[in-house]
C-alpha cells in the first residue's frame, strides 16, 4: 500500500462519521426541526456501540447498538420539542449534556479495552484494480454504508413521495397540517432517523476509528456535522464534499505532527474548529444562496390545533 493510498484511507475514515451524522441531521432539518444534540447522540452511539460490540463480541451488534442508542436519545428530544413544544435550541443543548453524562456511565466499564477489526476479505478481487483498487479494498464497510446512505437520502428527498411529504412539512407545517398530514409524526420519524445516523457515526468512532472508548471522544465532531449541513446548503451531495474537506483537515493535523513541523500541536488540533468557523462565515455571508434551500420552518415550534 503506497503512501497516497494510506493517507487517502485515513481521510475516508475521518470523513465517514461526519458524513453519516450530517446526513441524518440534514433529514431532520429538512423536516423543519433543528436538533443541536448531534454531539450528544454521537457520543451515546459511541458508548452504546462499543459496549454492544464487546458484550456480544460482534461488530455488527456494535453498530446496531450505536444506532439504537442514538435513536433512543433522539426520542427524548422528539417528545420534548414535538409534544411539549419546547425551544429546539435549548433542548438540543440539553440533549448534548445528557448524552455526554450518560455515555460516561455506559462507557466506564469498557475503558481500556480495544477492538480488533479486520479488512473485508470478500472484496479481495477489487484489489487488482489499479490506483483505486487498494482504496476500495482498504475502506471499511461503514464507509460504503455512508455512500449508500448518501445516495439513499438524496433519492428519498428528491424522488420519493415520503420525501416530498417531509420537505412539505419542513416548508410549511401549517399547510401540511391543513392538508391532513400528521406533522408531528413525520418529524418524529425524521428525528429518530437522525438519532440513528448520529449513533452509527459515534459507534464508528469507537469501534473502527480509534478503536477504544474514551470520555468525550467525539471532540466536537457532532457540532462539525451540524456546520456541514449549513455548508452544504441542505444539499446531500455537497455534504460529501464538506465531510471529505473536514476529514482531510483532521488528517493533515496528524501528518503535520508526524512530520515534526514546528507548529505547536495545539494549533494543529484547533484547525478543524477554526476551519468550521471559517466555512460558516464564508457560506453565511451570501445569504440568498443558503436561503434557497433552507427549510422555511427550521427551528420553529409547531403546535397543531384539533
120-159 residues near another protein, rule: CB under 8 A: none
- Report in angstroms how near the CB of residue 258 gets to another protein at its nearest: 18
> Which one, 59 or 201, has the nearer CB to another protein?
201
Closest CA to 297 of 150, 184, 151, 161: 184
Q: Which is nearer to another protein, 6 or 274 (CB)?
A: 274
Residues of span 20-49 touching another protein by CB under 8 A: 36
Residue in the block written with cell 426541526: 33
From candidates 60, 179, 241, 261, binder to another protein by CB under 8 A: 179
For 212, phi then psi, to 5°, come to -155, 175
β-sheet bridge partners, residue 3: none
User: Which has the closest alpha carbon to 126: 139, 111, 142?
Assistant: 139
Burial class (CB within 10 angstroms; exposed 0-12, middle 13-18, buried 19+) of 283:
middle
The reply to whether 254 sits near another protein by the rule CB under 8 A is: no
Q: In angstroms, rounded to a whole number, what is the distance separating the alpha carbons of residues 77 and 179?
A: 26
Q: CA-based Rg of the chain, rounded to a whole angstrom?
A: 19
Question: Residues 264, 46: contact at Cβ < 8 Å?
Answer: no
187 near another protein, judged by CB under 8 A:
no
Binding residue for another protein, selected from 132, 175, 237, 257, defined by CB under 8 A: 175
247's CB contacts (< 8 A; 6+ apart) are: 11, 12, 13, 14, 15, 16, 18
Under rule CB under 8 A, residue 300 binds another protein? no
47-76 positions binding another protein, by CB under 8 A: 76
Total residues in contact with another protein, by rule CB under 8 A: 74
Should residue 99 be labelled a site residue for another protein when binding is judged by CB under 8 A?
yes
Interacting positions 204-233 with another protein (CB under 8 A): 215, 219-220, 223, 226-227, 230
Select from 12, 168, 198, 201 the one that contacts another protein (CB under 8 A).
168
Q: Is residue 10 a contact residue for another protein (CB under 8 A)?
A: no
Contact 96, 199 (CB under 8 A): no
**Residue with Cβ nearer another protein (32 or 138):** 32
- Pick between residue 115 and residue 176 the one whose CB is nearest to another protein: 176
Amino acid at each position: 500500500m503506497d503512501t497516497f493510498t494510506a493517507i487517502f484511507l485515513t481521510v475516508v475514515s475521518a470523513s465517514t462519521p461526519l458524513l453519516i451524522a450530517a446526513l441524518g441531521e440534514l433529514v431532520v432539518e429538512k423536516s423543519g426541526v433543528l436538533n443541536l444534540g448531534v454531539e450528544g447522540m454521537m457520543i451515546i452511539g459511541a458508548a452504546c456501540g462499543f459496549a454492544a460490540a464487546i458484550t456480544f463480541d460482534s461488530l455488527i451488534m456494535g453498530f446496531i447498538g450505536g444506532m439504537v442508542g442514538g435513536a433512543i436519545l433522539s426520542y427524548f428530544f422528539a417528545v420534548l420539542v414535538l409534544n411539549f413544544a419546547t425551544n429546539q435550541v435549548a433542548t438540543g443543548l440539553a440533549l448534548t449534556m445528557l448524552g455526554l453524562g450518560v455515555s460516561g456511565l455506559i462507557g466506564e466499564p469498557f475503558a481500556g479495552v480495544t477492538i480488533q477489526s479486520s479488512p473485508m476479505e470478500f472484496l479481495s478481487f477489487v484489489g487488482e484494480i489499479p490506483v483505486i483498487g487498494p482504496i476500495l479494498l482498504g475502506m471499511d464497510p461503514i464507509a460504503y454504508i455512508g455512500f449508500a446512505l448518501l445516495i439513499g437520502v438524496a433519492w428519498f428527498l428528491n424522488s420519493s413521495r415520503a420525501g416530498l411529504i417531509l420537505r412539505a412539512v419542513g416548508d410549511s407545517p401549517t399547510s401540511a397540517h391543513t392538508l391532513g398530514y400528521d406533522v408531528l409524526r413525520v418529524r418524529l420519524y425524521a428525528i429518530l432517523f437522525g438519532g440513528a445516523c448520529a449513533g452509527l457515526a459515534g459507534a464508528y468512532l469507537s469501534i473502527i476509528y480509534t478503536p477504544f472508548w474514551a470520555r468525550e471522544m467525539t471532540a466536537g465532531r457532532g457540532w462539525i456535522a451540524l456546520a456541514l449541513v449549513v455548508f452544504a446548503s441542505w444539499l446531500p451531495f455537497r455534504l460529501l464534499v464538506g465531510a471529505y474537506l473536514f476529514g482531510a483537515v483532521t488528517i493533515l493535523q496528524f501528518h503535520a505532527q508526524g512530520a515534526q513541523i514546528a507548529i505547536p500541536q495545539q494549533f494543529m488540533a484547533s484547525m478543524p474548529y477554526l476551519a468550521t468557523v471559517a466555512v460558516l462565515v464564508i457560506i453565511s455571508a451570501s445569504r440568498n444562496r443558503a436561503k434557497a434551500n433552507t427549510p422555511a420552518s427550521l427551528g420553529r415550534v409547531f403546535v397543531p390545533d384539533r
